[in-house]
Homo-oligomer: A and B are copies of this chain.
Amino acid sequence: MNPETRTAAPACVAVATADSRYDILIGGALMGDPASWRGLPAAAQAVVVTNTTVDALHGDALRHALAPHYRQVSTLALPDGEAHKDWPTLNLIFDHLLRHGADRKTVLFALGGGVVGDITGFAAASYMRGVPFVQVPTTLLAQVDSSVGGKTAINHPLGKNMIGAFYQPRRVICDLDTLATLPARELSAGLAEVIKYGPIADPAFLAWIEAHLDALLARDRKALAHAVKRSCEIKAWVVGQDERESGLRAILNFGHTFGHAIEAGLGYGEWLHGEAVGCGMVMAADLSAALGLVPADFVDRLRRLVERAGLPVTGPALGAARYLELMRVDKKAEAGEIRFVVIESLGRAAMRPADDALVTRVIERHCAPA
């Protein structure tokens, strides 16, 4: 990373929903910058929720940054991985908060990737019916997607993110330095969500990603800064219009209906969420083509990009019937009818149902034989 960029002012993207307003700060060395932490809600106590892997890398930096602002700063390091985004792990947070005498003003800091952010956000939404929390995402996926917009949740054995709340953080601090230590597999997983914003909202951004994918994979600071900023801008724009996903917001789930089926079918944690979304986007693009909405070469274009990003483009061999069964419990389904996010035209997405037969053919084209 280039040292002189560390002194550049961070980018700031504002998120405004009906009853909350907060900033996403994006830049290098934000964790150590006192300005990142000023003006948060006052409290006697802060609790850092993280996982054991991230704690070892960034826990001390965050605790050091918080020490001047809170009388007591405690840390709870959860086990690492999507398999732990569940009830028992959520209860570890409640146990910690109660044992440390956390009150209604206590601020939670979610330091980690999407799993830590989602579970900590839901804990913050539910503890004493709501305490403030701050997202400090340390993965590309969390910085461009899960930490922004206030969707919090845990998984249920019968479906991903089935139990949760819409609950906005007070601030999101995307310190690009944390991406330096990110495993390559997780960098690729994050790129899936970055790529997503192109087809659903911004054809020019899609072309930019194609042109800068090598720089992104090489963790070029300037390229990462732009990718995170543009992704957050698009997400903030969508969430500002439809916080509760009564309409527009659903387009952010492009690739997620197929993706969730992959994750649930294999057991959470087998594929990374971004890997499932990457493969799911190729399937959703093919479905869009099969519905006559986009030309077939769009499917090829997207598949090439997903593949170049280091993501799988062939789904696991669950069998089409199992895919359909899993997709019917997707949150977007209504009365058992699956609703897919499809690309209507490049840069514009919409929700559509689709015939089982058509979906089956898409699955069979893109998945290993059962």
Residues of A bordering B, CB below 8 Å: 18-19, 44-45, 71, 87, 91, 94-95, 98-99, 101, 103-105, 125-130, 151-153, 156, 158-159, 162-166, 244-245, 328-329, 331-336
Contact = CB atoms under 8 A, between A and B. Distances in A.
A98 B162 CA distance: 9
18 contacts: A44-B334, A87-B91, A94-B156, A94-B162, A98-B159, A101-B329, A103-B335, A104-B331, A104-B334, A125-B165, A126-B164, A127-B162, A128-B162, A129-B151, A129-B153, A129-B244, A129-B331, A130-B165
A18 B20 CA distance: 13
A162 to B, nearest CB: 6
A104 B129 CA distance: 22
Question: Which of A71, A164, A333 lies at the interface centre, i.e. has the most chain B CB atoms within 10 A of its CB?
Answer: A164
Contact of A166 (B101, B130, B151): B130
Contacts of A128: 162, 164, 331
A81 B116 CA distance: 34
Given A18-B19, A129-B244, 6 more contacts: A44-B334, A87-B87, A101-B336, A103-B336, A126-B163, A126-B164
Closest 6 CB pairs of A and B: A98-B158, A44-B335, A128-B331, A129-B164, A126-B163, A103-B334
Contacts of A104: 331-332, 334
Contact of A127 (B127, B129, B163): B163
A133 to B, nearest CB: 15
A335 B101 CA distance: 8
